[in-house]
Structure formats: C-alpha cells, structure tokens
Structure 1
C-alpha cells in the first residue's frame, strides 16, 4: 500500500491532487486543517498509472440520459465546494441512471462499460458521503467555512437565533451529565463488587450498618478502622463500640446549670412537653420557685394555655412574650430564677418565620440564651440533615431526641449527630411528665439501635418477605 500526503488551499484542490496522482480508487486516511489550507493523507493499493484512464461512456440511446463521468464529478471543472460536489453526485446517482436505462437479464450479457462506470460513481458517492460525515464530526463548522467548504451550512448557522443555540447547548450538557452519572454508577458498582470479593466480611458489615440506619459514608468510615483479621461477631461488636465512642453526650447539663435555655426545632417534635419535663425535674431538685417557663409560640392555638397548665401542676411561673423586646424584658424580670426555660414555636426548616424567630435571640438586648435542638428520633435522615442545616447560623449547645418509643430505627439520628458533631443531651420516650425523659448515654443509644435493627431490620425477623394473599 502506498501512502502519500497532499496539501491544498481548500478541500477541492487537495482532492484533485489525490485523484491526479493516486486515482479515484484512493482511500482517504485522515484530514486536518493546517496553516496554509487542508492536509489529506491518502493510500492506494496499486501503483498509480501515468494517467487515470477514464472509460468513455457508451453512445447515448434515444431517450436515455447521459451519465456524467468521474472526471466531471471530481475534476478540475467540478464545483467549487464539497457540498456542491455531493449535490451534483446525488443528481447522478446509480439508481437514477439505472431507472432510465432498459433492464436486461443478468445472464444474457456481461456487465457493460456503462454499468462498470456506474459502479465507480456509486462507490465514490458512498466514499464522499462518509468522508463528509467524518469532516463534519472532526472539524468545527467555522474552520471549514474559512477554507470555502460548506458555505451553505455556514449561512444556516448564522441564521440560528441565540436562544436556539443555547437550547441545543443545554440539551448536549444534559446528555453528557446523564452519561457521566451512568458511568459513575457503573464504576461504583464494579468497585463494590471488587471490594466484596476482596473483603466479604467488611462489605457484609457495611450492609448491616446501613440497614441499621447509618449513612453510607459513616458506615464506610467506621469499617475502615476495623481490623481485617476479626471475624463477623468480633467485628460487629468492635463497630458498635466505635460508634458509641463517636457520639458526643453532654450529660445532665441543663438541670445542673443556671441561666436561660431555649428549645428550638420543627413543629410536632414535642418541645412544649419536653420543657415541662425539664421544669418538673428541676423543681424536684431545686424547688418550684427556682424555675420559670416562657413561651414565644404565638402561632399555635392554646400554646400558652398548655404550658400554663403544666406550670400550675409544677407550681412554677409561666409567662408569654410576643416580641423580642418583651422576651428581653421578661428575662430581666426573671433574672433571680436559677433556670428559665423558653418554649419556641415550631416551624418547618423551609419556613421563613423560623429565621425571624431565631433572630429574636440575637437582637443585642438579649442575655445569653443556650439553644438546644429538639428532633424526633424517627425522622428520616435527609430531613434531619435539612433541619440541622437550617440552624447553621445558630450556636447549638446540644440536641434532644424525642419519641424513642415510636422508632423502628435509631441509626439515622445517631448518624446525623456524629456527622454534624452535635452533642446529645437528653432522650424522651413517652408523654409522662416528668418520668419519660432520660440523660443521653452513648452506649445505651447504640445498644437500643442494635436491638431495634435485630428486631425490625433483619430479613428473618422483619416479616417483609411474607406474601399476603386475599
């Protein structure tokens, strides 16, 4: 095979050189734009003849169209652009020529010179169309139009509106992003399969931790510290102890300190009941006159009446504040109390009123108020993330997990507490005041999470595999 490079100021001139030196059967290997024009790399199986012999067309029959020769299609007198060249070739396609010629049986006579020439045109037409697609895929439109190629395409591109181009670009970006996500998923799946083969025990334990409710990131982080020689039982006990060591607990900090404490959090988490439980416990320890309760919940019906009822039972002072100025004034009036518990309104983390309420504690006139987040222990992990992130600008002294008696899994709240480094102060597990509140202990929380997983999470105990039929 003979390979040659050809240079021309445009595609037509370069193709003409290929045809003149290697003939019409040459194969274009590559093309690229250079400083002076176009560079083509062409190959030919046989030695080229001194001059390409072009068969003469047969005499024109009555009513028969004259077939253009190869020299007329790609020659010095051809069109000035590759696009026009292809349009001319399409006009002289073999199917059009064959439809206008009388059909003869194939066994009656051998292939005529015209038929051979038509095959040459068809072959070159297929090559030109494929070559055009290759050029359009490899070269930007503006580069080819600079060399005189595709003037019509350039005109259509100029006519496109910026909105159309922007929409097409956005669609391409969306498709690329989708392909990237699929590839990342496939690679992650391959890596996971590889890890399962290399460390089957570790991967099994990761699955157990995630089934217990822990996030995938925390589960993988914990498993990375597990010794490789541990069996499944020892490794599981090691992981539970490691998780307990990662949980930060504050102890009985609220009931052992003085000052003002506000409980914040979403609606329905049990803030009012928790305030009453803490007040009752404090009254048992230091006396009812040493504690007071304030509510700034002016949105919920009978919010003050509910807290006032608890205050009558406990025997402590209960007040209501509607503005930050009233709250600051009440805190000043109750400064002789050892502990003032503030009950806030419950808002969704997406509610703008939540931010307004939080700012009541930072108006410059307010004394130092410790803030504790109250969250339900049965909240989904993504919701917990959003709740904690809503209080990014608030200095939280700790959190209280409520409604443990309604949980089927505790891993979600433990995972959120570890990942966001949120200290856990108390847990509640019922509506009784003040019995159903306990000081948070890391080992007790992890043990409760493991028991719930064993009771509800394992396949052989969950009962999810049972098929109910009518």
Structure 2
C-alpha cells in the first residue's frame, strides 16, 4: 500500500509532489498546516480505505523530531538537491553500465588479446590513477582476454619434442615501471580495432563526466562584474564597509545583477532592528537623549500631540531636565499650552526623582534632556541624575540622519552607558544618505522606534518599518545620483572641468 506523508511550503507545491510521487489517481487522506508550511497524507485511490486505517494506527508516527527534520529538509530545498544529485548519479551509473556491456561484447569478439590496444588503454588509465571505476573496467577486460587465450591455445606436444616455452608476461610491479609481454599479438581485424577505439572514446567521455562533477565552480568574469556592481550600489547607499561585506557574503555567484541587488536589499531589511510598535500606546516614562539640535524637543511634541488626539490630554505630562538653555524649556512649555498638558522643569529645587514621583498617576510621561557631551561637567551631572532614578525609564537615543557617521557613533558612545532601549532617526528629509545611520544601528543592534521627516506636528513621524527604511535609503541614493548626473551634464555643456 503506497501511503505518502508530504511536507511543502504551500498547498500548490504539496499537490505537485503528490502527483509526481503517487500519480494522477492519488487521493488526499488528510492535510493540515504545520510550522513552515503544510503536511499532506495521500494514497492511491484504490487503497483509500486501507490508507485511512493505517493512518489511524500510525497517528503517533513518525516522531515529531523526525517530522520537523523532514519539514526543514523540504522547505530549505535539501529534498530537491538530493533528488537532483540522485538523478545525476543514476545517469552516470547507466553510462558506466553501458560501457561495461560494450567492453564485455568486445572481449567476446576478440580471440587473442590486442596488446597495442591494451597499451593505449593502460596509458590513458595511468594518466588518471585516481579513477577506480575505469581501472576496474580495464582489469576485467584483461582477465577475460587472458581466459580466452588459455582456452583457445593448441594442445601441447609431448615434453620431449615440445619447443621451449615462450616466457609468460611478468606481473606488474607496484611502481609505475611496467614490463610488456614478449609474445607477438595476432593481427587485429579492422572491425575489432574500431570497436576498441569506440570503447576508448566512451571511457574518455566517462572520465570527463567524473571530472566535471568533482571540479569546483570557477567564477567567470561576468559574475565578478555582477558582484562588483552590487557592491558599488551598496556603497552608494552610504553603508559601512563591514555591513557591505556581510551583505555580499551570502550572495550566490550565479545570480544576475538584478537578482543579486534584490537579494542584498532583502538581507538588509532583515538585518535592521526595529521596535515595530507604537511605544506611546504602551505608556510609561520615556526619556529622549542625544546631542544638541538633533530634534529631541520636536519629537516629544509630535508624540505628545498624537497621544492627546487619541486619548485626551489628562493622561500626558512633559518633563525637561534642560535648565541650562531657557529657549529649550520655553519651547516645551509652548507645546504644553497648546496641548493643555502639564510641563515640569527639573532644577536645583526639584530633582528628577521628585518630579517623576509626582507624575506617577500619568499614563505617559515624555522627558526632554539637555544635549551635552559626556566629558562636560554638566553633562556628567545629567547622566548621574538619569542613572539614579528609581522609577523605570525607557531611554531612546535621537540620531539626526543628516549628521556624519562619526558624530552619530560619538553620540552612541556618550549615552550607551545609560542602557539604551532604542533610538529615533530624525531629519530623514534633510539627509543626503540614510546608510550611515542604518550601519550604526545594525552594528550596535539598537532597535529603531520612530523615524521623523519634517516639522509638521504630529504628522511627520512614523513607526519604523524595515522595508520602508530600505526603500527610503534607495530613493535618496537614486536622487543623489540624478543630481550628480545633471551637474556633470551642466559642466560638460558649459565647458567646466
């Protein structure tokens, strides 16, 4: 009874495998979804009832681990590769059997061994001493010919009148030096000579097939060009050298430029760490840190406005620790008046701990900080203040996409000691490249929570999405390329350069 349990990524592929392995008269006994795809149990139509009974008896088998291994093997393509390898081996075995049959036929047609052909074949086989299959074919032919020679030899005369015997061929030593038999062969008929030449040609073809299977794939110049072009495109995105090397390490050599480009962009999207959720919906106390001018205060205003529009102003409060710049907390107080939410200022009379304790009844508290270097005394004081809070704080680093890579790395190093929970990529609309920021977050595995791209409140902010970030990066790079091309065309038109 032919009952098959088949795993596939989807039902279409499962049904195709059912037709291939059972036939057009197959019927489906059961099917259900499993991790990574579907599982289908099928049998021939005339065995349907017996198959159902067997399925009930063997419901517990195969073990879960074996079934999972089978699923992984099917879904990762191992099944197709094994089938292809088995097909190649079967074809090769068939060719070898044909050659052996022809050799046997030639041995039956040759009454005496053809020493000259034997020497030629020896010379070919010795060139490839590692080809055990072909050496066994030759040994079989020689043994068969020796057997026929002994059978067809004339009856010996009595010992007294018998001429001196011819010397027998000396066995070959294990080294490469050989001794040839001294007896003279019988003339070979043209028909037999043609058969041996055909045999030699087929053996040579068989050897070439074996060599092609064992030789490694050599990169062609076209593939090198494809690899170089995709690498150049990634560098134009502004990605760091280390990230480019990681993305290119998994690109298959036989892919075209377009296929390789789509492949690396998908790998880049998978590598990006993102929060993938609206943090302000979860509530809590969120502190925003980063250098001066990266957009911390504006980002807080956008998020506060979004929360007020959805849940009202009674559950939100704003806090600023930036008592060093009057303009900073004045801007936050302006947001508070517009949104009708309270704004608290941390100063020498009100510590951060006291202010936050007084706002514990609020669903969402957004905290603005001063943008100072960790080496600055005031900056060190602020870092100690944030680290000493007993309440749970979510800490987001705000990075301006228009900043240079070194400045973003320095900002991360300054605030990493706080235990950052994520980041906000600001000013994406002002940036000439997003690659530097993406390289940093991938390297540090710092999840991206939000992306801002304008001054409109609360519109110009969104939850970070992998595909959207990659698309923006490519679009910005393409825009830069068009600008550079137009500038080059203008220079050529006016004779500049």
Same fold (TM over 0.5): yes
Cα distance between partner residues in 1 of 2:482 and 2:221: 20
Which residue among 397, 414, 419 is the counterpart of 1:390? 414
Give the CA deviation at 1:350: 5.4
Cα distance between partner residues in 2 of 1:463 and 1:255: 44
Q: What corresponds to 1:455 in structure 2? A: 479
The alignment partner of 1:230 has SS state of coil
Does the alignment pair 1:271 with 2:296? yes
RMSD: 2.3
TM-score calculated relative to the size of structure 2: 0.52
Does the alignment pair 1:199 with 2:220? no
Deviations 1:175-226 (A, max 9, x none): xxxxxxxxxxxxxxxxxxx998972221221121111100011101100111
Q: What corresponds to 1:402 in structure 2? A: 426
Q: What corresponds to 1:426 in structure 2? A: 450
Q: What corresponds to 1:103 in structure 2? A: none
Does the CA contact (< 8 Å) of 2:409 and 2:440 recur in 1?
yes
The alignment partner of 2:395 has SS state of strand
Does the alignment pair 1:439 with 2:466? no
Cα distance between partner residues in 2 of 1:324 and 1:198: 68
Cα distance between partner residues in 2 of 1:397 and 1:329: 23
Relative to structure 1, the CA distance from residue 352 to residue 227 in structure 2 (aligned partners, 3 Å threshold; closer, same or farther) is farther
Give the CA deviation at 1:394: 1.7
Give the CA deviation at 1:352: 4.7
Q: What corresponds to 2:308 in structure 1? A: 283
Give the CA deviation at 1:360: 0.7
Pairwise mapping of residues 25-104 of structure 1 onto structure 2 (< 5 A)?
A: none
Q: What corresponds to 1:185 in structure 2? A: none
Deviations 1:93-134 (A, max 9, x none): xxxxxxxxxxxxxxxxxxxxxxxxxxxxxxxxxxxxxxxxxx
Q: What corresponds to 1:333 in structure 2? A: 358
Q: What corresponds to 2:235 in structure 1? A: 210
Does the CA contact (< 8 Å) of 2:451 and 2:463 recur in 1?
yes
Q: What corresponds to 2:135 in structure 1? A: none
Give the CA deviation at 1:302: 2.2
Deviations 1:18-41 (A, max 9, x none): xxxxxxxxxxxxxxxxxxxxxxxx
Relative to structure 1, the CA distance from residue 286 to residue 459 in structure 2 (aligned partners, 3 Å threshold; closer, same or farther) is closer
Pairwise mapping of residues 23-422 of structure 1 onto structure 2 (< 5 A)?
A: 199-323=224-348, 326-348=351-373, 351-363=376-388, 365-422=389-446
Give the CA deviation at 1:356: 2.5
The alignment partner of 1:396 has SS state of coil
Does the CA contact (< 8 Å) of 2:223 and 2:253 recur in 1?
no
Relative to structure 1, the CA distance from residue 459 to residue 310 in structure 2 (aligned partners, 3 Å threshold; closer, same or farther) is closer
Cα distance between partner residues in 2 of 1:204 and 1:367: 52
Does the CA contact (< 8 Å) of 1:298 and 1:322 recur in 2?
yes
Give the CA deviation at 1:324: 9.6
The alignment partner of 2:418 has SS state of coil
Does the CA contact (< 8 Å) of 1:261 and 1:341 recur in 2?
yes
The alignment partner of 2:354 has SS state of helix
TM-score calculated relative to the size of structure 1: 0.55
Gapped regions of structure 2 (runs ≥ 5): 1-218
Q: What corresponds to 1:52 in structure 2? A: none
Give the CA deviation at 1:464: 4.6
Does the CA contact (< 8 Å) of 1:206 and 1:223 recur in 2?
yes
Cα distance between partner residues in 2 of 1:301 and 1:404: 27
Does the CA contact (< 8 Å) of 1:324 and 1:360 recur in 2?
no
Give the CA deviation at 1:460: 6.5
Deviations 1:131-157 (A, max 9, x none): xxxxxxxxxxxxxxxxxxxxxxxxxxx
Relative to structure 1, the CA distance from residue 197 to residue 359 in structure 2 (aligned partners, 3 Å threshold; closer, same or farther) is farther
Give the CA deviation at 1:359: 1.5
Give the CA deviation at 1:386: 1.5
Does the CA contact (< 8 Å) of 2:353 and 2:390 recur in 1?
yes
Give the CA deviation at 1:319: 0.9
Does the CA contact (< 8 Å) of 2:373 and 2:414 recur in 1?
no
Cα distance between partner residues in 1 of 2:327 and 2:247: 46
Relative to structure 1, the CA distance from residue 274 to residue 196 in structure 2 (aligned partners, 3 Å threshold; closer, same or farther) is farther
The alignment partner of 1:289 has SS state of coil
Cα distance between partner residues in 2 of 1:356 and 1:460: 46
Gapped regions of structure 1 (runs ≥ 5): 1-193
Does the CA contact (< 8 Å) of 2:290 and 2:415 recur in 1?
no
